[in-house]
Structure 1
Amino acid sequence: MSIALTNACDLACSYCYAPKHRAVLNLDSLLGWVDDLDRAGALGVGFGGGEPTLYKHLPEVCTYVAEHTGLAITMTTHGLRWNAALVSRLRGAVNFVRVSVDGTGSTYERLRGRSFERLRKALQEIAGDFRWGINTVVNEDTVGDLDAIASLGEEYGATELLLLPQQPTKTAGGVDQTTLRELENWILGYSGPVTLTTSGDADLGVPIAEVLPREVGLRSYAHIDATGTVRTSSYSRSGISIEQDGVMAALQRLARLEAR
C-alpha cells in the first residue's frame, strides 16, 4: 500500500501528478490503517506525498510501523531535506528509500529548481544508512540523461532505477511516442549494474519480470491519498473514502466499484 502522507511539497515540478490542494493525514487514523493492513497480511507500506519529510509525524509513524507491525517501510522522497538528524531518527525503521532524480546537473537544476550538488550531499547521507534507489520521470527533458542517472546510482550504491514515463497532468502532457521509443532503445542497450524497474501500468514495449504473477489488481497494490481516499493507483481519478470501518472495508468497496 502506498500512502501519501501529505500533499505539501517545497518543489514545483511542472510534470508532477500529485494533487495540489491542501491535505494531510490524521496520525491516529493512519496508525489504525497500518494496523489493519498488517493484520490483513500486507507486505509493506510506501510513504510518499507530496514530500513525506514535510509530514511532522514521519519519524513517529516509521518507528511505530517498525516496532508494532511486520510491514516493510519504503519511502519516496526528493531527498533534499535529508540530513544527519533525519537519518538518525529513521535509521533502523525505514527499509528502502526511493529518491526522485529527474536528470542530472543542469537538467536537474532546471526541472527541480534546486542545486544538483545539494542532491549529491543528500545522497551521501541516505546511502550511508539505507538501501536506496532512484525514481526517474522519463520525458523529453530527462531521457537523454539516463546514462548519467544510472551512473549516479552506481556511484552511490543504488540497488534500482525505477523508470516512470511521464503521466499527463493539468499542466503537462504525458510522455510522447518518440521519447518512449528512445526509452525502449535505451533499456534494450543498458548493461549497467543498477537493476531497472518500472511501474505496473507503464507500457515500455520491452519484456518485464512478473515477480508475483498471480498477485494482480488490488491484491498487488493500492494507494491511499492524503485525504484518506483509497485508489487503485496514485494516478486514478476515482476512489473510496476510508470510513470508520477501516481501510480493508474501503478496499472491498473499491474492488466492487472496479468490477462494475
Structure 2
Amino acid sequence: MHLFDAATGLNVLLDEVPVDPQAWDQAPRQVSIALTNTCDLACPYCYAPKLNARLNATRVVGWLRELDDNGCLGVGFGGGEPTLFPGFTSLCSTVASQTGLAVTFTTHGHRLTAGLCDELRGSVHFVRVSMDGVGATYKRLRGRPFATLLARLADVRRVAPFGINFVVNADTIGDLDSAVDIAVKAGASEFLLLPEQPTVHRSGIDEDTATRLREWVCNNDPALRLTVSAAGADGLPVCVPLTGELPSEAYAHVDAQGVLKWSSYDLEGVAVDDAGVMAALHVLREGRGAA
C-alpha cells in the first residue's frame, strides 16, 4: 500500500499490508505530458520532436481526471517549453483544483517572471528547472545568460519547492560540482542527473563521461537530494523502494501529438482517442506484455 500527499510530496510505503491484485490501481504512478513541442531555445542535445504539435487543454484535463480516478499520483508537464502553452497557468489551476494529482512541470526557467510565478502559486507542487552546465558552458549550450537563470530561481522559490535538472555529457560533467553548489545556495531540494540519451542526431553520453559520472556520484555527498533518470541509472547506486513494480505501473508519457508511450524517448506508442487514456494504456500494455 502506497500513500502519497500531493501538497508535501510525502510518500509512505506500507509493505506489510497485502493488497489483493484485483484492487491495485490501474494507472501508472506518474505521467508526463508534453503540452507542446514549441521551445524558444535550441539545445543541441534536446530529444523533443521538432514537429509543430500542441495538445488541447480540455482533452488534457479529461485524461488527467481519468488517470486520477484510476490511481495516478502526479502529472509532470513538459514540452518543448510548457510555459509557452496557451493557458498554461489556467491548466495547472484546473488540474490542481479538480483532481488529487500532484502538478509539476519542467522548464528552462527564463519565462518564469515574477508575474507568472504569482499566477502559478497554489497550483503547482514542484518545479524542475533545467540547468545544463554553469557560466560560459550554460550560455554556449543554451544561448541565454546564466545570470538571468539565477535571477529567475529567486522567483521560482516563491511558487513551490524546486529541483535542478542537469543533462550530463562531455560538455557539462566538469561543471557538476559548481552546479550542485549553486543549486544548494539557490534553495533547490533536488538535483536530477540526466545522462544524455541517444537521439537521431547524437549518440548520447560517451563511456568515458559515464564512468566519470559514476565516480562522481560515489565520491560525493551533496547537501540536497541526488536523483537520476531511469534511463540513465545503470551502474549508479540507486534506491529502488518498489522492487516488484513493473515499468508500466510506474510511468508513462503522452507526447504533444497525443500519443501514449512508455517514455519520452520512445518512437512509437498508442494514440489516445475518444476511448480515453486508460483504453490507450491497455493497448500499450498488451503490446509489451505489461513489461
Task: Give the shorter-chain TM-score range.
Answer: over 0.9
- 2:109–2:152 Cα contact (<8 Å) kept: yes
The residue number in structure 1 matching 2:164 is 134
Name the SS of the counterpart of 2:232 in structure 1. coil
The residue number in structure 2 matching 1:184 is 214
Q: May I ask how many residue pairs the two structures share in their alignment?
A: 260
Q: Does 1:155 align with 2:185?
A: yes
RMSD over aligned CA atoms reads: 1.1
1:86 to 116, 121, 131: 116
Q: Does 1:221 align with 2:251?
A: yes
- 2:103–2:125 Cα contact (<8 Å) kept: yes
Q: TM-score, normalised by structure 1?
A: 0.98
The residue number in structure 1 matching 2:137 is 107
Name the SS of the counterpart of 2:192 in structure 1. strand
- For structure 2, the 5+ residue unaligned runs are 1-30
The residue number in structure 2 matching 1:234 is 264
1:24 to 39, 44, 54: 54
Query: Runs of 4 or more off by more than 6 Å in structure 1?
Result: none
The residue number in structure 1 matching 2:37 is 7
Q: Deviation per CA, 1:7-42, whole angstroms, max 9, x where unpaired?
A: 000000010000001000011111110110111110
Question: What is the CA-CA distance between 1:212 and the residue it aligns to?
Answer: 2.4
2:127 to 73, 77, 97: 97
- 1:183–1:204 Cα contact (<8 Å) kept: no
The residue number in structure 1 matching 2:76 is 46
2:235 to 199, 205, 214: 205
Q: Deviation per CA, 1:86-138, whole angstroms, max 9, x where unpaired?
A: 11111011000000000000000000000001101111110233100010110
Bigger mean CA deviation after superposition, 207-216 or 84-93: 207-216
The residue number in structure 1 matching 2:12 is none
Bigger mean CA deviation after superposition, 229-238 or 163-172: 163-172
Name the SS of the counterpart of 1:74 in structure 2. strand
- 2:168–2:194 Cα contact (<8 Å) kept: yes
- 2:105–2:128 Cα contact (<8 Å) kept: yes
Question: What is the CA-CA distance between 1:199 and the residue it aligns to?
Answer: 1.2
Name the SS of the counterpart of 1:169 in structure 2. coil
Taking the aligned partners of 2:77 and 2:229, their CA distance within structure 1 comes to 16
Taking the aligned partners of 1:185 and 1:32, their CA distance within structure 2 comes to 45
The residue number in structure 2 matching 1:195 is 225
Taking the aligned partners of 2:284 and 2:57, their CA distance within structure 1 comes to 23
1:123 to 131, 148, 153: 153
Taking the aligned partners of 2:246 and 2:154, their CA distance within structure 1 comes to 36
Name the amino acid aligned to 1:194. Answer: L
- 2:117–2:158 Cα contact (<8 Å) kept: no
Q: TM-score, normalised by structure 2?
A: 0.87
Name the amino acid aligned to 1:245. Answer: A
Question: What is the CA-CA distance between 1:204 and the residue it aligns to?
Answer: 4.0
- 2:121–2:158 Cα contact (<8 Å) kept: no
| Percent of aligned pairs sharing the same letter | 48
Name the amino acid aligned to 1:87. Answer: C
Name the SS of the counterpart of 2:68 in structure 1. helix
Name the SS of the counterpart of 1:86 in structure 2. helix
Taking the aligned partners of 1:230 and 1:129, their CA distance within structure 2 comes to 29
- 1:184–1:204 Cα contact (<8 Å) kept: no
Taking the aligned partners of 1:173 and 1:24, their CA distance within structure 2 comes to 27
Bigger mean CA deviation after superposition, 163-172 or 71-80: 163-172
Taking the aligned partners of 1:174 and 1:69, their CA distance within structure 2 comes to 37
Taking the aligned partners of 1:219 and 1:136, their CA distance within structure 2 comes to 26
